[in-house]
Amino acid sequence: MTDYDDDVEPFHPLAKLHKDILKAAATLTDHEVRFLVDSYYRYQENRKRALNQRATLEGVPNSIFEWTVQQEVSFEKRMQTALDAYTAVKPIGIWLRAIKGIGPVIAAGLISHIDINKAPTVGHIWQFAGIAGSGQTVWKPKTKRPFNVKLKTLCWKAGQSFMKLSNDPECYYGKVYRERKAYEIARNDAGELAEQAAAGAARVAKSTEAYKHYSDGKLPPGHIDARARRYAVKLFLAHFHEELYRTTFGKEPPLPYAIAFLNHAHKKVA
């Protein structure tokens, strides 16, 4: 767990986040954790905007401006420490902490959003996260969103992390991403994704760079990269589901439909 440090001024409210508070972090409810995760990312975005603004300023920034940025950074660190403490006492949290690319914030977010009692198979999690693929429910206008947008964002962040660490030999899902991307590129170059390209061409403006690729029967590089990242995340969630099911119910999760009923020999990520 991240050590607590004392670089926040004693009068600042963040200084109250001492060891007793970190012990209390272990008892946070799912609702409270989701709130803290959302707050962490809000403060992170505020801090990034402030730094971008500072880059446009002439001369030396005002000390109050600098102090504000420092407090944003301190708050992020404290929030991360609290969420790290929360994951440290959860069996599934301990498993997540060992995954290269999954930090305490993403780990806490996944734990708080996913209810294993409502997800007998990983397909339910994919559906809930809005990454199930071609078979997922379409979100129709003026209807309730059929997936959890915050969980989908967490999955996107996990995919970004795997991508950035794809050359790290300790990042298993980064390797999965890299290998899947090579596979998708080969399929794209062979014209095997022409049908998806035609569908993409119908969705984008003809003036875009993406349309040039789609109209040529190929998916653009960004689309290929997104497919590879999604594949890695779906495999990660499949493993996450298995571990969460075991630690919660003390038994193996049900076999995927393709294996249990269609006699397919291996598990497969769509």
pTM over 0.85: no
pLDDT value at 196 more than 80: yes
Structural domain including 260 reads: 116-270
Q: Both 75 and 136 in a single domain?
A: no
What's the confidence (pLDDT) of residue 187? 97
Q: Both 262 and 128 in a single domain?
A: yes
Average pLDDT over residues 230-234: 96
What's the confidence (pLDDT) of residue 173? 97
Residue 98, domain member (yes or no): no
pLDDT by residue (tens digit) across 205-223?
999 999 999 999 999 999 9
Looking at 73, 89, 105, the residue that finishes a domain is 89
Residue 255, domain member (yes or no): yes
Residue 111, domain member (yes or no): no
Q: Both 6 and 136 in a single domain?
A: no
Looking at 54, 89, 124, the residue that finishes a domain is 89
pLDDT by residue (tens digit) across 126-169?
999 999 876 566 677 778 888 999 999 999 999 999 999 999 99
Written as one string, the DSSP assignment of the chain is: -PPP---S-TTSGGGG--HHHHHHHTT--HHHHHHHHHHHHHHHHHHHHHHHHHHH--SSPPHHHHHHHHHHHHHHHHHHHHHHHHHHTSHHHHHHHTSTT--HHHHHHHHHH--GGG-SSHHHHHHHHT---TTSPP--TTS--SS-HHHHHHHHHHHHHHHHTTT-TT-HHHHHHHHHHHHHHHHHHTTTTHHHHHHHHTTS-TTSHHHHHHHTT---HHHHHHHHHHHHHHHHHHHHHHHHHHHHHSSPPPPPHHHHTT--SS----
Looking at 51, 72, 89, the residue that finishes a domain is 89
Given pLDDT bands bounded at 50, 70 and 90, which one contains residue 256? low
What's the confidence (pLDDT) of residue 268? 53
Q: Both 141 and 238 in a single domain?
A: yes
Residue 105, domain member (yes or no): no
